[in-house]
Amino acid sequence: MPQPFGLGLENHYARLPGEFYTSMPAERVGEPRLLHANPKAASLIGLDPAAFADPDFVKVFSGHARLGDFEPLAMVYSGHQFGVWAGQLGDGRALLIGQVRGASGELWDVQLKGAGMTPYSRFADGRAVMRSTIREYLGSEAIAALGIPTSRALCITATGESVMREQPEPGAILTRLARSHVRFGHFEHFHHRGKHEQVRLLADHVIGEYFPDFAGDYAGWFGEVVKRTAELMADWMAVGFAHGVMNTDNMSILGLTLDYGPYGFLDAYDPDFICNHTDEGGRYSFSNQPGIGHWNLRALAVALSSLIGSDMLVEKLNGYEAIFVARFRALMRAKLGLVREVEGDDELIRALLRLMAKTRADYSQTFRGLTRTDEDWLFLFGLGREEALAWREAYRARMDGEGDRRAAMDAVNPKYVLRNWVAETAIRAVEDRGDSGSLDRILKLVQSPYAEHAGEDALAQPPAPEFSGLSVSCSS
């Protein structure tokens, strides 16, 4: 049978018993119109961008038609939300509409977000609003371009309907891709119901599909999950990214950045930055992320305790901090252009971060500016200029003998990150004027964040007064 759009369509998750999901069609939400599609994501699944112009494309990727003979399904899982056991959750506004074998041989989930209600919607409407859809579309592609594991975004479909949040907002559907959407909460769901055989079945499925080197070795596999999670936390911290809602149901078993809600990239460096205004206690503040990663892994360890002995679980968990520190140190050394290991390097890094926090220097500009002139760089520190000059002199002395590291440093210190105000520019253009030109422009910018883009310097700057104090929440 010919495959739709030439895709290598497969069906693996549905081989699990029916209690792992509910098979169901998407709701036919509104009158779909393709707002934007992403050729870079399309290439991951072997999709020819020419398909974007096919009238059937928007039907399939809005849920108005099936992707071949794949029967869509919503996954069930549970989780801890803000540290509290929340019980059953699940794909309340998401549907897996296909699994596709990409050109490199990797299996990709194709999922719709915002395509209507499922049995796991609880009291919600299963819809997504345009602003949150654009934020995830841009955010996932920005993180991917920074070399950090993440879900990807294929396209945005405008539904033409209004969705009620605090006020009526335009609706949209995101088609996203991920190597897997299995979360820590999938395992918690069955463990906390005493269904240990289902925990084993799910672990065997995940290992078989994504961790074949650990076949028959549950402890080794858990150790790999610990490693990927620790490294993901270090990656986030090094680029100044705050996720905002690190609940266990938002934690990927593959170590991917998953579920972009009230995320934020740092402007002024503030280790206590809270990007989610509903996080009143600051549980998911920027500096708390490494500790929360470990907390979530402990919750996963409990969920796997029927498979793995407690001594081995503790041993693997105890390796988390060393993995995180090694990864974070390596990333920060690269940002400063340090190749040779010299005693005092860690303190040099810490001193810069303390100075940045004290003066509220812009995070991305500080590191990118290390290869620029002294005057441009010192300007970032305002009244802390003298302290910044002293640090710069110590840094210059340390760099003697390292050679010219400017090109290498510019290749790891992005000029452009997806600041909230930049994302807001795209959102307002679409919502207020129906203009996707800004969305296209910003997408291309964040997909090549290390390059110099002529005429786009303004989008590398902190927010202007009219954009300062933008507030995002879980509904974002």
Tell me which residues are annotated as active site: 249
Residue 380 has phi, psi (to 5 degrees) of -65, -20
349, 336 contact by CB (below 8 A): yes
Q: Within 10 A of 180 (CB to CB), how many other CB atoms are there?
A: 22
Number of separate helices (H) and strands (E) present in the chain: 16, 13
What share of residues in the chain are helix, strand, coil (percent, to 5)? 45, 15, 35
Please give the helix or strand (H or E) that residue 207 lies within, else none.
helix 196-210
The residue written with tokens 């910044």 in the block is 388
183: which DSSP letter?
B
Cα→Cα distances 234→105, 220, 293, 323, Å: 28, 21, 10, 9
On whether the CB atoms of residues 440 and 244 are closer than 8 A, the answer is no
Question: What does the alpha-carbon distance between residue 94 and residue 91 come to, in Å, rounded to a whole number?
Answer: 5
Of 135, 73, 77, 476, the closest CA to residue 253 belongs to 77
